[in-house]
Amino acid sequence: MSLHYIVREPKKGITNPPLLILLHGYGSNEQDLFSFAEELPDELLIVSAQAPYDIGYGGYAWYAINIDANNEKFSDLVQARESINSIALFIDEIKTKYNTNLDRTFLLGFSQGAILSYALSFLYPNKVNHVVALSGYINDELLPKEISKNITTDYYISHGTVDQVLPVDWARKASPFLDKHNLVNKYSEYPVGHGVAPQNFYSFKSWILERLKS
């Protein structure tokens, strides 16, 4: 496998289970979002991937965040693109290994994981059917020059109004961008910082359930 991961298999026997891939944020690891797994629908195959760059103390990153001479943060876009390609390959490997339902692939990312989830959905059109982007934003520098007109992926987006890590203004640009490309999306905000409020969890859980039933 191209990435280290942990898995929760469906709680009931399903031949072609729907797949949910979890991508953690900067400085975290595969255990972080996996805490959601027990509360999510029984029929899902849930796979939590670990980012490739070890930054110490049990933390990993999908790409480095550096600080320049002016104390400005900037992202290592070469590493980010490499990670997107690794995630794309990993999704294919998981689909094959677990014989998942190819029409029911969910990608849920938090923070850095959300940024890459957005980018992957445009760079690899329809590799995932549904994206859950928590506390992230669309980084234009990671997108293809032209957005495919054949994308059918839909998006659930949420952000904390008092997020001090990634400003909510960055997240607010996602919905208009997706609207412009005729992509279905749901955007919501919660009065929290850089994290997932309980009501936020139940909101995206309902969104996932709706798509499992449709």
pLDDT for 120-178, tens place per residue? 999 999 999 999 999 999 999 999 999 999 999 999 999 999 999 999 999 999 999 99
Model confidence at 75: pLDDT above 70 = yes
**Centroid of chain to Cα 80:** 13
Model confidence at 54: pLDDT above 70 = yes
pLDDT given for residue 13 in this prediction = 82
**Centroid of chain to Cα 102:** 17
Q: How far apart are CA 30 and CA 8, in angstroms?
A: 12
Q: What's the CATH code, domain 5-213?
A: 3.40.50.1820
- Residue 43 is encoded by which pair of tokens? 């029929």
Q: Which CA distances in Å does 21 have to 13, 44, 158?
A: 19, 10, 17
Q: What's the pLDDT band for 185 if we cut at 50, 70, 90? A: very high
Q: What percent of the chain has pLDDT over 70?
A: 98
Model confidence at 188: pLDDT above 80 = yes
pLDDT given for residue 72 in this prediction = 74
Residues 6+ apart with CB under 8 A from 7: 45, 46, 47, 48
pLDDT given for residue 1 in this prediction = 82
Q: Does the predicted TM-score (pTM) go above 0.85?
A: yes
Q: What's the pLDDT band for 69 if we cut at 50, 70, 90? A: low
Q: What percent of the chain has pLDDT over 90?
A: 91
Mean pLDDT taken over the chain: 95
pLDDT given for residue 35 in this prediction = 93
Stretch among 9-13, 102-106, 184-188 having the lowest mean pLDDT? 9-13
Residue environment code for 149-183, b if the CB has 16+ CB neighbours within 10 A, otherwise e? eeeebbbbbbbbeebeebeeeebeebbebbeeeeb
Model confidence at 70: pLDDT above 80 = no
Q: How far apart are CA 185 and CA 153, in angstroms?
A: 9
Stretch among 67-71, 125-129, 182-186 having the lowest mean pLDDT? 67-71
